[in-house]
Amino acid sequence: MATDTIDAAARVSPLDRLDTRTRVIAAVALVLALVSLRSWTLLGAAILLGILLTTLASIPARQTIRRLLHVEGFLLILFVALPLTTRLPPFIAIGPVGLSVPGLERAVTLALRITAAALVVLPLISGLTPIRLGHALGRLGLPSRLVQVFLFSIRYIELLRAEARRLHDAMRLRGFVPATDLHTLRSYGHFIGQLLVRAVERAERVNEAMRCRGFAGRFPLVTLERFGAADIAAAGLTIVLAGALLLMDRL
């Protein structure tokens, strides 16, 4: 038992010791700086910074690669669309197709920006639980309605997904096989309608339960986190780093 406790403490990353608000602010500041960069060299350095942060956050390389693949798959569309739709010379002729060099450069720049931003956000935000992140957003002064919508969405999206899965299983047990016909469209229409009805019923039950518990329109933002010397140092380092990147990019 003691060994397990020591191992768990050893796995705590330096980022986990920061206040959640510090991590959110740092992520937003770095992303805003990264999306403004034009230099490929600086963007490459930002990607290395993101890799360093994932190492500090103790995120497995396989998990990082798997999440990046979702982003990079979307970026493939840029490499196809931008060189074909940009009408700026010079052009590279590949058979009957002419690819715009400025369009290709824009695609590369966007890909580097998005990759760097993803690598920075992943270690700073992904390790936070939705409840912890929602409370941090509320403590940062975001509108309480927005925070409530976020917390409710995180809680009940999975419930609605499970409800949709049960309805879909019930349809399959009754021999439903989707096809391109009117019966399939009608069945999916009933499926969506039934899901909405059950969602409304669940929302009414949740509303009654919360009112019985004295809910007055606001969630209590309870946390033991406090700003410390590490948070001040991290915030200062973030400001200096973001400012240095922007300044070097404009020189």
In the predicted model, is pLDDT for residue 2 greater than 60? no
Confidence of residue 4 (pLDDT cuts 50, 70, 90): very low
Tens-digit pLDDT profile for residues 55-76: 888 888 888 888 888 877 778 8
Kindly state whether residue 185 falls inside one of the protein's structural domains: yes
Which of 8-22, 96-110, 188-202 ranks highest by mean pLDDT? 188-202
Residues 159 and 66 in one domain: no
The per-residue DSSP string of 151-165 comes to: HHHHHHHHHHHHHHH
Residues 39 and 119 in one domain: yes
In the predicted model, is pLDDT for residue 176 greater than 80? yes
In the predicted model, is pLDDT for residue 7 greater than 60? no
Residues 50 and 139 in one domain: no
Task: Look at the block and give the residue holding tokens 């973001």.
Answer: 242
Of the ranges 22-26, 67-71, 93-97, 105-109, which one carries the lowest mean pLDDT score? 93-97
Residues 200 and 143 in one domain: yes
C-alpha count within 13 angstroms, C-beta hemisphere, residue 248: 15
Residues 150 and 243 in one domain: no
Residues 103 and 63 in one domain: yes
Kindly state whether residue 8 falls inside one of the protein's structural domains: no
- d(CA 130, CA 120) in angstroms, rounded, equals 18
Kindly state whether residue 219 falls inside one of the protein's structural domains: no
Residues 124, 27 contacting (CB under 8 angstroms):
yes
Task: Look at the block and give the residue holding tokens 């715009």.
Answer: 100
Residues 60 and 175 in one domain: no
Residues 31 and 106 in one domain: yes
Residues 163, 174 contacting (CB under 8 angstroms):
no
Kindly state whether residue 162 falls inside one of the protein's structural domains: yes
Q: Across the chain, what does the average pLDDT equal?
A: 82
Kindly state whether residue 4 falls inside one of the protein's structural domains: no
| pTM exceeding the 0.95 threshold for the entire prediction | no
Residues 180 and 114 in one domain: no
User: In sequence order, what are the beta bridge partners of 91?
Assistant: 100
Tens-digit pLDDT profile for residues 192-243: 998 888 888 888 888 888 888 777 767 676 667 778 888 888 888 888 888 8
Confidence of residue 95 (pLDDT cuts 50, 70, 90): low
Kindly state whether residue 152 falls inside one of the protein's structural domains: yes
User: In sequence order, what are the beta bridge partners of 94?
Assistant: 97
Q: Which residue has the higher pLDDT, 183 or 88?
A: 183
Cα-to-chain-centroid distance, residue 222: 24
| pLDDT of res. 58 | 80
| pLDDT of res. 12 | 62
Mean pLDDT of 115-135: 84
- d(CA 202, CA 196) in angstroms, rounded, equals 10
Reference 158, options 130, 184, 188; nearest CA is: 130
Residues 92 and 114 in one domain: yes
| Spatial CB neighbours of 138, under 8 Å, sequence gap ≥ 6 | 144, 147, 219, 221
Cα-to-chain-centroid distance, residue 110: 17
- d(CA 246, CA 129) in angstroms, rounded, equals 31
Domain containing 68: what range?
Answer: 14-128+226-250
Residues 79 and 171 in one domain: no
Mean pLDDT of 37-64: 86
Residues 26 and 103 in one domain: yes
| pLDDT of res. 59 | 82
| pLDDT of res. 11 | 52
How many domains does the chain divide into?
A: 2
Residues 108, 39 contacting (CB under 8 angstroms):
no
User: 3-class DSSP state for residue 98?
Assistant: strand
Angle CA(43)–CA(49)–CA(50) in degrees, nearest 5?
Answer: 90
| pLDDT of res. 93 | 67
Kindly state whether residue 2 falls inside one of the protein's structural domains: no
- d(CA 50, CA 116) in angstroms, rounded, equals 6
- d(CA 7, CA 48) in angstroms, rounded, equals 28
End-to-end Cα, the chain, rounded Å: 56
Kindly state whether residue 189 falls inside one of the protein's structural domains: yes
